[in-house]
Amino acid sequence: MLIQDARFLTSNARAQDCPAPTLPEYAFIGRSNVGKSSLINMLTNQKGLAKTSSQPGKTQLINHFLINEDWYLVDLPGYGYAKISKDARAKWARMINYYLRQRPNLTCVMVLLDSRHAPQALDLEFMEQLGTEGIPFVMVFTKADKQSGSRTSQQVVQYLEKMRETWDELPRHFVTSAEDKTGRDELLGFVAETNRQLAEAQQAEDGTPGA
């Protein structure tokens, strides 16, 4: 998929204030500092589009980006940030849970996982929750440039083995690097294909033949 146009729309604390749910929506979530905002910039080829920081906890709100006037990319605040207060954590959980349940156009959640780390309870639990609620998601391993390709492959295999303990069918996964653009074509290809299937399903429902 070619990104012809990518622009920031709005930041919101409440899901009900987000843009009208008229377009397919892909949301990036994962631990603070895992590379969500960097991956959005990599996919859109715009370095400063989503705010990034070496300090965890940079993204605090639900940020909508409009891509090719056709779909939304959403940057969400990360979880698992150690220095956050109990109150702030509860607020995060309310905001995210409400967002995940209340966006009828949420097409797929992209769960970002640092490719250097062994599976961690917080991430596994978050994916369990998505599964329980029937929210479609894929796994996106980040920062692959920080280690050798063979090390990344090993880590991914280890992660998938862990997932197999609880999942009958594994979600799709992608290996990425915001630094060297690994995985960009694959991820954008996935979005293009998913959007195409959605449009087809919509046409079938409307009874209108494809143009």
Q: Does 38 bind ligand GTP (CB under 6 A)?
A: yes
Closest to ligand GTP by CB, 42 vs 195, is: 42
Work out what residue 57 binds among Mg ion, ligand GTP, none; the CB cut-off runs from 5 to 8 Å by kind: ligand GTP
Among Mg ion, ligand GTP, none, the one that 23 touches (CB under a kind-dependent 5 to 8 A) is: none
Tokens of 156: 């991914």
Q: Which of 59, 107, 155, 195 binds ligand GTP (CB under 6 A)?
A: 59
70 binding ligand GTP? (CB under 6 A): no
Question: Which is nearer to ligand GTP, 21 or 60 (by Cβ)?
Answer: 60
DSSP string, the chain: -----EEEEEEESSGGGSSPS-S-EEEEEEBTTSSHHHHHHHHHT-TTSS---SSTT---SEEEEEETTTEEEEE---B--TT--HHHHHHHHHHHHHHHHH-TTEEEEEEEEETTSPP-HHHHHHHHHHHHTT--EEEEEE-GGGS-HHHHHHHHHHHHHHHHTT-SSPPPEEE--TTT-TTHHHHHHHHHHHHHHHHHHHHHHHTPPP-
Task: Among 25, 27, 44, 52, indicate the residue that binds ligand GTP (CB under 6 A).
Answer: 52
Residue 54 engages ligand GTP in binding (rule: CB under 6 A): yes
Binding site residues, Mg ion, CB under 5 A: 36-37, 58-59
Nearer to ligand GTP, 107 or 142 (CB): 142
Contact between 171 and ligand GTP (CB under 6 A)? no
Closest distance to Mg ion from the beta carbon of 205 (Å) = 35
Binding site for ligand GTP (CB under 6 A): 32-38, 52-54, 56-59, 77-78, 142-143, 145-146, 177-179
